Structure 1
Amino acid sequence: MPSLKHLAAGVLSATFAINAVATDYTFKFQSSDPSGVKNFAIQQEWADRVETMTGGRVDIEILPVGSVVAHTETLGAMKMGVLDGHVSVTGYFSGQDPAFGLIGNTVGAWSSPDQLIDYIYYGGGYELMNELYKPYGVKFIGGAATGLESFVSKKPLDGVEDLKGLKLRAPEGLVQSVFAAAGASPVNLPGSEVYTALSKGVIDAADYTVFSTNQEAGLNEIAPNPVYPGFHSLPLLEIAMNLKEWNELPEDIQAIMTVSARDFAQDISTQLAMADQKAVKEARNDPDITIHDWSSEERRKFRSIARDQWKQYAEQSPNAEKVYKSVTSYLESQGLL
């Protein structure tokens, strides 16, 4: 029969083994969101779940936008090993390849986050994203969507005609091309500069994010003519990491991260939709804020302009052509085009 001394030594040995496992995989992921917003908090919740589900073997630190590199540079930072991963908007990398702009925000294609997520996981999007990212040494773990974005504006907007001459913030890529085709004057600014640019009159309006985030940031106070529900953007939000590091992970951890990313997609779209309802009610009670809801006819006009731009944008690279064929084939198969 073992002595108490031997039993104690065994317990200590087991404890040290557990602690050793707990520090096996430590990653730094940079977000495209600042700390303090709901999006960032939900991303942190995802990282915490991964740690719990792996029994402490994986520790992911979520860093706010700009902590290590600019929001448009995280793709290269992962390849070089400066960052282990990111939680970011795919369209930010359209400067690397127009394909990322087209799949990252196929303006006018999706009417709800569920439609985009179905395409990613069941319509070929997941496989295509990993094909596109392989040359960059990056693994696409999963996709999500914050929801149909609101649109903040200092000027009343009730239809496509009101976009003409409007100075607006929009991310580079297809989104800018569509707004330019509609007659607006797009400006490329990071999200962190939207508030200042609006308050100083550098821009009149902004394609930024969901209504609740805009409301919480005070954007609807300085740009009191928001358009809701959004008529334009439903960007792809992704979780990705260095491909070599991914390949070195055990299969069970890969499976946990893949499934948890799918769960994250449901989590963020649901939480933000609920937050939007609360924020809209708050805004409607403010006499200084006027919410504009575009008619079905005006929404169709804008989507028609957007779809004309898809094919033109697809001609900019072979990969963009692949995205165009993949997305349109899926839309047609589901009766969405």
Structure 2
Amino acid sequence: MTRLIKRRSALRTIAGAGAATLAAPHIASAQGQTTTWRIQTSWPGGAGLQIFKDWCATIVEKSGGELEFQPFGANDVVGDFQLYDAVRNGVLEAVNPFTIYAQGIIPAATFLTSYPLALRNPHEWDVFYYGLGGLDIARELYAEQGMHFVGPVHHGPNIIHSKVPIRSIDDFRGRKMRLPGGMVAEVFTEIGAETTVLPGSEIFPALERGTIDVADYVGPAVNYALGFSQVTSYISMGPPGFMSLYQPVDLMDITVGMDAWNALSPQMQQFVEMETHVYSDMHHAAIQKADQEAWGLFEADGVEVTRLSQDDVELMTEVAVPIWFDYANRDPNSARVFKIQLDYMQSGSLGYVDPALTEGLTLNL
């Protein structure tokens, strides 16, 4: 017991020394030295940031003092859209971004995360990544950009807040709606919404002023903390069991600069891969727990939850399918990734997409 206490005390001393060398972390393979990674998440605060920091704090002891994660919140070191430049240039060793942010340098990243009416549950994305070859393709594409894609991290659905009740997709027609752009915006534009792109920080004032009637954003816990119950009276969801039509899951990931990754031993690389699985599970469950608590707060504030029907799901799928093909055909790797997912969605396992919906549509493989 005495030896264990002394060892833990030594690990804390080493971790503290690593933290003191933030400006120039020392990556070494020599026995007894700690590799310190600066790792920044896209979470600016709240439950997401705390879950991330709690996980990072476990790494030095779990790794026997070989590796330490020094966590930073959104914008603490660089802006969200500079995360990939930061890991490629060594400003950060690793990042925990929303995967969609990579689409600026890796077009196929559009299909490495949730898109409207596609794979609808976290385990389906795990099947894609760990069973159907998605992880190998992601690593290939990231390696071309000087980065190593360690693995996906599950978050949760995004939801829609509204000043008016939305009980069918017809109710979106003519509504001024904030969306993140891309495929999501095209689907809602197709069903008649007047879409606009706003950063998250501008959603509350836009709803308050009446500039927009409807807004999507992340999950209940975060949105409640942002005050959305003060400026909207309704939350629109899919049918029971389908929390969000347009983004029923949300994916983050752990990405590492290639130099930092290659400096690790094969054993430590395997450790980081295993810990990414652990973090994904912890992160997803903890976010859902926070969301469960938030529902009661929305109800107490008089916010009503409305649900679309299964018919609405099928109609929106018809709208989404040609848009999927359009985006997939903009880039050969996008088509390659999408083909795997389409085959899965049309298989007996899922059956989300009637083959009739893809008749006459082709992929540029």
Normalising by the smaller structure, the TM-score range is 0.7 to 0.9
Question: 1:209, CA displacement in angstroms?
Answer: 0.7
Moved more, 196-205 or 217-226: 196-205
| Alignment match, 1:230 | 244
Give the CA RMSD over aligned residues: 2.5
Q: 2:332 matched to which residue of 1?
A: 318
Q: More displaced, 99-108 or 181-190?
A: 181-190
Q: Is the 8 A contact 1:157 1:163 kept in 2?
A: yes
Q: Could you tell me how far apart the structure 1 residues matched to 2:71 and 2:207 are?
A: 28
Aligned length: 323
Say if 1:169 and 1:188, in contact at 8 Å, map to a contact too.
yes
Pair 1:239-2:254 in alignment: yes
Secondary structure of the corresponding residue to residue 203 of structure 1: coil
With over 3 angstroms needed to count, the CA separation of the structure-2 counterparts of 1:44 and 1:15, relative to structure 1, is closer
Task: Give the superposition deviation at 1:139.
Answer: 0.9
Change (3 A) 1:141 1:159: same
Deviations 1:37-66 (A, max 9, x none): 111111112212222211232222222222
Alignment partners' CA distance in 2, 1:189 and 1:62: 28
TM-score under structure 1 normalisation? 0.86
Shift of 1:325: 1.0
The gaps in structure 2 that reach 5 residues or longer are 1-5, 18-30, 238-242, 353-365
CA displacement at 1:22 relative to structure 2? 7.0
**Normalising by the residue count of structure 2, what TM-score does the alignment of the two structures yield?**
0.80
Residues 119-268 of structure 1 aligned to structure 2 (within 5 Å): 119-228=128-237, 229-233=243-247, 234-268=249-283
Sequence identity of aligned pairs in percent? Answer: 26
**Structure with the greater relative contact order (CA < 8 A, sep ≥ 6): 1 or 2?**
1
Structure 1 unaligned segments of length 5 or more: list them. 1-10
- Alpha-carbon separation, structure 2, partners of 1:298 and 1:203: 23
| 1:266 to partner: Cα distance | 1.5
Give the AA of the match of 1:43: F
Residue aligning to 1:296 = 310
The aligned residue for residue 118 of structure 1 is 127
Shift of 1:308: 2.5
Does the aligned pair in 2 maintain the 1:94–1:173 contact within 8 Å? no
The structure-2 alpha-carbon separation of the partners of 1:131 and 1:201, relative to structure 1 and needing over 3 Å to count, comes to farther
- Structure 1 residues 250, 192: CA separation in 2 closer, same or farther (over 3 Å shift)? farther
1:98-122 CA-partner distances (Å, limit 9, x unpaired): 3112322222113322222232222
CA positional deviation for 1:23: 5.6
1:18-33 matches, cutoff 5 A: 19=14, 24-33=34-43
Q: Deviations over 1:279-322 (max 9, x none)?
A: 223322332x1111212211222233222211111111112111
> How far does residue 195 in structure 1 lie from its aligned partner after superposition?
2.6
Q: Is structure 2 residue 336 aligned with structure 1 residue 327?
A: no
